[in-house]
A = this chain, B = another copy of it.
């Protein structure tokens, strides 16, 4: 699109297809989309595309073998093989063909070289979703996009759907399909007054967005308020066991499907940070989720029910309450009670998207419930798209984690993977151009959770930047690859988290949440720091894990260094498994983190001239802010712990 960054779909990525001869077999809207993509590439690069039975020869055949099942696109799997000078992609439905097309794009010329045997690709999960925390009406505190760092909303502006700009939404759907995402929730989980009405009299605006996303196989979901029967329906209650409430949800859902026949379903944040929920009626969260699930079931829709339920008005003086325990304590007793089309959406860690958390013990503990795992692509706690922080390695660690002997998190997430989107109406989509890598990586990991994130990064670089520049490729890799660990180094140490400015969450404030009602403490005193979550002497959180993790985390001696302060309160002189004391580790990592940002900035400077100048300049400008902020983190954290501990830096560096 004019004036909008092409991200990982620059025209050039279509040259290998666009210079060749392609045959497309099959019909249906998504096959039309595939045809349109190939035709546009051919128009640009001189190739040729035919449909159905036209005689050959062809370099590429894209064919749907089954009857495409309506707008839904049918199966998402595809096969690819090459022989006799022809590459063949086969799918049982239009969606699969679309994914196959983008697979060929990713392969580039290699797709057309030599011969290779039949390979099947299918997504690990049927649901690969982005949640947009976009407000329709600008919120006085949270703005147009809650926790958004990429301008305004792609979907909403000035209180309503962007009518004339839905072309941008279509382009967004195209990018998402090209990395494997197939579902989008178009409004904030905190549902305010204007947004509530998207469910009823404003459903037409949702339908318009759905229409723009549909050609790329993206289904549209809606965040709704649990109180909708009251605030929209005029009922005296939202009790999920009340017959009138059930009937109201049934009726309203039927009308939603009239407007959006392939509607994906509802997302609900209930009894969480002030949102209404079933607790008000003495009902369980399964009761709450199931009334919506029942309404959606006839149409094949799902309800995503968020497990982010905790006491956000905790008294910091109360050491017995541990926010980390909350999701497990609330939901594990409900295992088996959720309807089949109710998906419990669990944040990957027990707290809230800190730079380092253990994996939520809920995952694996509810075998009779479909769980979706929620990630956060928007960098609320990881630099807010002013800092480079590629989250691929973190997400991959989470997805490969095995809660007990057996399945990994990626395998246990039968309800799919969800990320909070990092996209807005910014020309670079994500504010920081390199944050596009997070969106891309999430999509590819959602498709295949055991994929090697380093290979995804390489793929993203090859697609997004002109391929064949080894120095550019290497430079980008250097800047991105270790950026999450760099960010971790200069922020909160050893898994303890928080230490951010309250409210907006940007920049350091070591005690910012220490005496707050949010349940987010580090308990630093003159002797030590950390939260004792052991069973023996702490909150018992470590006991929520299955073996071996319950034992690994329980003991200071076996707990991994990077999570030590999440699980234990230790003295500053405690010696880590790394051989360093906690206090020296804090000092060292904070100095190193800043040095690594300085080094990355220098690498970036060297890449000027190897890419679009606007893209280079935007990143260069953000590096200045990242460096300023990283130094601020370093100095505040080091000063704070030096003032508390009185222990001097072993290397005599400057601590203020």
* Chain A interfacial positions (CB closer than 8 Å to B): 140, 316-317, 508-512, 515, 524-527, 632, 635-636, 639-640, 642-646, 656
Contacts and interface: CB of A to CB of B under 8 A. Distances in A.
Nearest to A507: B515
Contacts of A512: 509
B524 A636 contact: no
Contacts of A515: 508-510, 632, 636, 639-640
Nearest to A637: B515
Contacts of A639: 515
B526 A643 contact: yes
A525 B635 contact: no
18 contacts: A140-B140, A316-B656, A317-B656, A508-B515, A509-B512, A510-B511, A511-B640, A515-B632, A515-B639, A524-B643, A525-B642, A525-B644, A525-B646, A526-B526, A526-B644, A526-B645, A643-B644, A644-B644
A635 B317 contact: yes
Most buried by B among A512, A643, A646: A643
B656 A527 contact: no
Nearest to A639: B515
A66 to B, nearest CB: 56
Most buried by B among A509, A524, A640: A509
Most buried by B among A511, A512, A646: A511
A646 B527 contact: yes
A635 B645 CA distance: 22
Nearest to A636: B515
Nearest to A510: B511
Shortest 6 CB-CB contacts between residues of A and residues of B: A525-B643, A511-B511, A317-B656, A526-B526, A515-B636, A526-B646
Contacts of A525: 642-644, 646
A317 B642 CA distance: 14
Nearest to A516: B509
Contacts of A642: 525
A188 B511 CA distance: 33
A527 B510 CA distance: 19
A639 B527 CA distance: 14
Nearest to A501: B502
Contacts of A643: 524-526, 644
Contacts of A644: 525-526, 643-644
Contacts of A645: 526
Given A317-B635, A525-B643, A525-B646, 15 more contacts: A140-B140, A316-B656, A509-B511, A509-B512, A509-B515, A510-B511, A511-B640, A515-B632, A515-B636, A525-B642, A526-B526, A526-B645, A527-B646, A643-B644, A644-B644
A315 to B, nearest CB: 9
Contacts of A656: 316-317
A510 B524 CA distance: 14
A85 B644 CA distance: 74
Contacts of A526: 526, 643-646
